[in-house]
Structure 1
Amino acid sequence: MHHALEIDEIVQCICGQIAQAGPSEFRLGVRTEQYPNRCGDLFHLAQTCRTFLDPALDSLWSFQGTLLHLLRTMLPDLWYIMEISSDEHSDASSDDGSWTEDDTWEISFRRTPRASDWDWFTFYAHRLRITRFVIINKHSDVRSETSFVYDILATKFPHGTIFPRLGALDWSFKDPQLFHHIHLFLSPKIKRLHIQSDHIAHFTILETLSSQLPGLKNVTVGGVHPDSYASPFVCALDGLETLVIWNLDLTAFDHLSRLPRLRYLWVMSNTPRRLPPRPKDVPCFPALRVFECESIEATPNLLGQTGGSLVEFYLSSRGWATCPTKQILQELYTALASSCTHSLLGKITVEQAWDAHPIMTTQLDLYVVSGDDLKRLFCFRNIVHVWLAHCIAVDLDDAVALEMARAWPRIEVLALPCDNTHRMAPRMTLEGVYAFAQHCPVLRRLSVLFDATAVPKFKLASGETTRRRGSQDTLARFEVAYSPIGTKKMECRRVATFLRSIFPALHCVEPTKPDSTTGAHALAMHGKAWMKVAAELA
């Protein structure tokens, strides 16, 4: 044996690389057709010699998504596994032990275990370390253990917590009778905790968890609740680095603003509009880098307290009662420009579900965002990702497009998608599209509405090539929505020639798909024309 294999770190690295070679399903213990032998590789490596035994078994058992494999290390007369399918039930306890990601089943015990029955179970359970143990019972077709299994573990397992080295726990049970069994899986080494439940009573358990999990850094608390039941739990955590939560009260939000290492915060519902006043020398969210929220009314005020060090900002429309007007978005963009450090902010995302908030035709002017409104964001010179999905569209013209392209030279993704329910006649033309080829050399995805019915004609200087004139080599995907275009073959060919000359790497052009809305026929004709353009570029 090579002397390098006598170094534990090298052996652990080898085993870790084998474990990471497969997809996430393998790391959860699922055998797939594409990666059928990954688990077998570690199994055979563990049998090679004592040098590889423990590291290989640690890697093999690190990622588990069920108790099935651990229960199968016990005597077969202890348990049975009932395989469930849509039309039949079959006893799978005599199978070869393998299963795929499409299998569904239930586990239960045949008899009460004795103390000696837990030896191999404990031997392997100790190997789950900083991993995710996923326990899900959301739907009838998902693998699950019966409540009796957890009752047995709670009363008969001799060593307290099942996984003493567990570093991450995903607990997503919907069954209220099983939720209290979360204590079986708690380990003082847990740093990442994900809890999902819609039962209000479950959140009383959270208050007791903070003392049992002193090392928590990453927390996700999911579930729809009218009040901030998780706020007392959050207030007891001082080492948080990331937090995803449904809603918070003012006390919890104020506590988070004082944490020195909190870098990611996603509040999925109600958010306090303003924090209590504090001394100027006390920083507010000193380490926050990513802020996601779903309350557009509260966001402008909060950005004044959270935005100083932000690198990424996300605003989702999920749960919005009404579509935000142009005035509300103007306030949002003004708050971003005045609160965030211009050299730091790199991503801005505003998502809007168009079909959730119908708008009257007579009210369109209240919702159409103009190019001048977006000029508030041109101060972010280092921005790389802008995704602004407004209720209708952004009304750009060629002059604003040129200013935008010059303001964001490092932009990689620029998406200004539009709703086809109220189709707006675009003022930007292919001249505006050309501006992005001139001034955005790393742009790789573009989604914008423009008028392609007229193709610009550029006069080449003596010896000048189209490529030298202003093309870029990274744009591969262009989402053109319902951009007007001539439907004749020659007109489509001219547009394709123009786009190829300024975007030589472009190979994917995506128009809006026709639906049942008014004018669907015209939309379908535009779509067919753009498909001709795509065929020319292929």
Structure 2
Amino acid sequence: MSVIQGDAESIRSLAPPSGIAEPHDAHPPTHPALTNFDILKIVFQHFKAGPDSDESRASRHDLYQAAQTCRSFLDPALDSLWMSMDTLLPLLRLLPALELLGRAYVLCGSISNHDVDRLNWYARRIKSFHLKIQSTPDISPLTYIQLAQSLTRSIPLLPSLRTLHAPSVSQLSLPNVAFVLSPSLERVDIEGLTPDDHIVKPFFSALGQRANGVQSLTLRGQMSQESSRLIMQFNQLTFLEVCDTVPPGVFSHIGALPYLESLIFVLKQSPPLPSHFTNVCFPKLKHLRIDGPISTISSYYKHFAGGPIETMVISASSLLKSNPVIRAYWESCFSTISNHFRLSLCSLHLIGQGGQTWFQTLLPHLSTLLKLKSLRLQGQSFVFSQVLDLAQAVHGIHELHLPLDGSLQCKYAIPLSALGVFAESCPDLKELQIQVDLIELSSLSKASPTLHGLHTLIIDSVAKKTLDVDVAPQVASYIDRLFPRLQSLRYEKDDKSTTKFWAHVDQIVRVCQVARQHERVRAAGEWFESRNS
């Protein structure tokens, strides 16, 4: 996939005949400045295109030509050419003994030490491998056995491999898996997992033996409790994503991982934890995301009280019809947050699905989060009085996102004048996303100019009537008075007429800023002339 596969002899010719050295980036640079090699490597990375496309084939050809241009281009061009692979075939085609017989490649002859050195000269450039079932012609399983016999030494075939991805559990049983497991592996992503242990368990056992230094592990699908326990052998993990099913016993073991900093739990099919469940630690956890029913999330959340969590995302659904019961579950989560993370939490993102109303439950807890700088509340609608309460509760906030849920009715939008509330109550606000309406514009002229530092304003406009372009100057003037340092004003919904209206408002804001800048320059010039007269 990722290398020129047409002419194996041409590819072989790029390797030095003797004294084969490691690629330049086998050892990362310690100097702070970019070398010529680093610059060339960045340039050649832009040659790469998406896999399995005409552009990809053209980019591989360009990289191959660049590698032949001069010796300075050789290593960085080849590094980009061989960086990502989905088959070992390009490597094996470097071996003179490899032949295509029928519908499979086989080794017909011995492999010399010189052949192995050539193979390794390219293999150590591969950083990412994507497991997939190959189409014919493929590599014969017997060829892998012969290759294993010829490479009987402690150095793995892919000594620089960093990332391994398997799109489904079936790829874990492919014969080439044994050759892509390397102690250098840092990230493993597996999708489509099933509780079938006869594939999953052998793979994780082999991975733990040959690559137990993995730091990032993504597991999507269902795993048996027996296979899930094998996660614990990767005690260097700093990132873990577990989706669909998390056995309670495994959850407690995950909490003991000593270096885990980022955790994503998708609990859509997991039942709540029992009330007598043993407490869990998570000593180093900084970033947490949990998706699932609010009843399940609530039962898990009380067990995250150990680590200094800085970033938190809750995406909660609910099939319950009783609002008091739903609010009780949210209250349990919010109490844990305010009691245990008031001095560490910097970013909070809440997503409520299915028409849940939890804003009033959250509000009393927001003021206790002393380091909160980023807040995103999704799936809620707000009236003006709630905006007032929110602005007062998060007066030190830097980023505030209140995106409109498309399922909510337009009547809940707040007037544009609410922007004045944030300009007054949140002096450090840099980015704001808000749902507004432009029905009542009479109060806009009352806004006084400020020096507020907001630089990004995202509008979720809810217009109950067609927006009249004639009101754009009034809207723009109001926004410019409140936020004179605004750098970006945008509307992100898929509505051409409304998008055009807000683009026009943005243009007028820019004109106001330019005029103000010219006025400052003119005033400065007059002052300078008066001083010299």
TM-score (norm 1): 0.70
Q: Is 1:503–2:483 an aligned residue pair?
A: yes
The DSSP-based 3-state class of the residue aligned with 1:471 is coil
Report the equivalent of 2:15.
none
Quick one: which amino acid aligns to residue 247 of structure 2? D
1:119 Cα deviation after fit: 3.1
**CA apart distance, 1:162:** 2.9
The within-5 A match list for 1:467-478 is: 467=449, 469-475=450-456, 477-478=457-458
The corresponding residue for 1:87 is none
The Cα offsets for residues 198-242 of structure 1, whole Å up to 9 and x where unpaired, read as: 4443323244232332322221222x3275464121133322221
- Which residue pairs with 2:526 in the alignment? none
Tell me if structure 2 keeps the 8 A contact 1:290–1:310.
yes
2:344 aligns to what? 344
Distance 2:397 2:57 in 1: 38
Deviation at 1:287, TM superposition (A): 0.2
What is the one-letter code of the residue matched to 1:262?
L
Counterpart check, 1:292 vs 2:310 = no
**Shift in Å, 1:285:** 0.5
Offset of 1:339 from its aligned partner?
A: 4.3
Give 1:24 deviation, angstroms. 7.7
2:228 corresponds, among 211, 227, 231, to 231
Deviations 1:266-297 (A, max 9, x none): 1223376368436xxxx811100111221232
State the partner residue of 2:13. none
The 3 A distance-change label for structure 1 pair 420 and 216 is closer
By how many angstroms is 1:151 displaced? Answer: 1.7
Amino acid at match of 1:377: L
Partner Cα distance (2:144, 2:319) in 1: 44
Specify the alignment match of 1:73 in structure 2: 94
Q: Structure 1, unaligned stretches of length 5 or more?
A: 81-106, 138-143, 360-366, 461-465, 515-523
Cα distance in 2, alignment partners of residues 264 and 150 from structure 1 = 40
2:399 matched to which residue of 1? 413
CA distance in 2, matches of 1:323, 1:534: 43
Please give the alpha-carbon distance, in whole angstroms, between the structure 2 residues aligned to 1:213 and 1:227: 22
Separation in 1, partners of 2:28, 2:382:
62
SS at match of 1:414: strand
Match of 1:162 in 2: 157
The secondary structure found in structure 2 opposite 1:337 is helix
Matched to 2:283, the amino acid is: P
How many correspondences in the alignment? 460
CA separation of 1:509/1:125 partners in 2, compared to 1, >3 Å: closer, same or farther?
A: closer
Aligned to 1:313: 312
Q: 1:145 to 1:21 in 2, by over 3 A?
A: farther
One-letter amino acid of the structure 2 residue matched with residue 112 of structure 1: L
User: How far apart, in 1, do the equivalents of 2:176 and 2:121 lie?
Assistant: 20
Relative distance call for 1:322 and 1:211 in structure 2 (3 A) is: farther
Task: Report the counterpart of residue 459 of structure 2 in structure 1.
Answer: 479
- Alignment gaps of 5+ in structure 2: 1-23, 511-533
Quick one: which amino acid aligns to residue 372 of structure 2?
A: I
Quick one: distance in 1 between partners of 2:200 and 2:315? 25
How far did 1:21 drift? Answer: 4.0
Give the corresponding residue for 2:366.
Answer: 377
CA contact (8 A) 1:371 1:396 kept: no
Mark the CA change 1:64 to 1:320 in structure 2 (over 3 Å): closer, same or farther: farther
2:367 is matched by which residue type in structure 1? F
Q: Secondary structure at the match of 2:405?
A: coil
- Secondary structure of 1:309's counterpart equals coil
Match of 1:254 in 2: 252
Give the distance between the partners of 1:290 and 1:33, measured in 2 at CA.
Answer: 40
Aligned residue number for residue 434 of structure 2: 448
Q: Give the letter for the 1:190 counterpart.
A: L
Q: Contact between 2:331 and 2:362, CA under 8 Å: does it hold in 1?
A: no
Q: 1:190 aligns with which of 185, 202, 217?
A: 185
Judge conservation of contact 2:216–2:239 (CA < 8 Å) in 1.
Answer: yes
Amino acid at match of 1:472: G
- Report SS of the residue matched to 2:491: strand
Q: Report if aligned partners of 2:105, 2:138 keep a CA contact under 8 Å in 1.
A: no
Partner of 2:40: 18
Distance in 2, matches of 1:297 and 1:487, equals 42
| Partners of 1:485 and 1:526 within 8 A in 2 | no
Corresponding position of 1:133: 129
What does the per-residue CA deviation read over 1:474-518, in whole Å, with 9 as the maximum and x for residues that have no partner? Answer: 12x41224255774444343223212322342543326546xxxx
Q: Secondary structure at the match of 2:376?
A: strand
In the alignment, the residues of structure 2 paired with residue 339 and residue 327 of structure 1 have an alpha-carbon distance, to the nearest angstrom, of 18
- Cα 1:200–1:333 change in 2 (3 A) is closer
2:471 maps to what in 1?
Answer: 491
- Distance in 2 (CA, whole Å) between partners of 1:313 and 1:323 is 26
Instruction: Give per-residue Cα distances to partners, 1:81-106, cap 9 Å, x unaligned.
Output: xxxxxxxxxxxxxxxxxxxxxxxxxx
* One-letter amino acid matched to 1:133: F
Q: Indicate which of 181, 197, 219 corresponds to 1:221.
A: 219
Deviations 1:57-116 (A, max 9, x none): 667644445435424434497249xxxxxxxxxxxxxxxxxxxxxxxxxx9645434332
Post-superposition offset of 1:177: 8.5
Question: Do the aligned partners of 2:232 and 2:257 also contact (CA within 8 Å) in 1?
Answer: no
For 2:288, the aligned partner's letter is F
Deviations 1:335-392 (A, max 9, x none): 3533442232122223356xxx5x6xxxxxxx344456434223324333322222xx
Provide the C-alpha distance between the structure 2 equivalents of 1:204 and 1:163, rounded to a whole number of angstroms.
Answer: 23
**Structure 1 letter corresponding to 2:349:** T
Match of 1:242 in 2: 239
Shift of 1:310: 0.7
Q: Report the Cα distance in structure 2 between the residues aligned to 1:324 and 1:527, rounded to whole angstroms.
A: 38
- AA in 2 matched with 1:149: I
Say which SS state the counterpart of residue 122 (structure 1) adopts.
helix
SS for the counterpart of 1:233 is helix
Length-normalised TM-score, structure 2 = 0.71
Which residue of structure 1 aligns with residue 278 of structure 2?
277
Of 394, 397, 401, which aligns to 2:381? 394
DSSP 3-state at the match of 1:292: strand
Contact 2:315 2:350 in 1 (8 A): yes
Change (3 A) 1:184 1:173: farther
Q: Provide the C-alpha distance between the structure 2 equivalents of 1:369 and 1:424, rounded to a whole number of angstroms.
A: 19
Q: Deviations over 1:35-59 (max 9, x none)?
A: 98566555545x35xxx97787667
Map Cα deviations across residues 234-271 of structure 1 (whole Å, 9 max, x no partner): 13332222111223222221112122211111122337
Q: Which moved more, 1:327-336 or 1:156-165?
A: 327-336
Match of 1:517 in 2: none
Paired residue type of 2:151: H
Relative to structure 1, the CA distance from residue 503 to residue 43 in structure 2 (aligned partners, 3 Å threshold; closer, same or farther) is farther
- Amino acid in structure 2 at the alignment position of 1:135: L
Letter in 1 for 2:41: A
Alpha-carbon contact 2:285-2:308 (below 8 Å) kept: yes
- Determine if the alignment matches structure 1 residue 122 to structure 2 residue 119: yes
Q: Are the counterparts in 2 of residues 290 and 313 from structure 1 also a CA contact under 8 Å?
A: yes
Residue 201 of structure 2 is matched in structure 1 by: 204
| Kept after mapping to 2: 8 A contact 1:150/1:181 | no
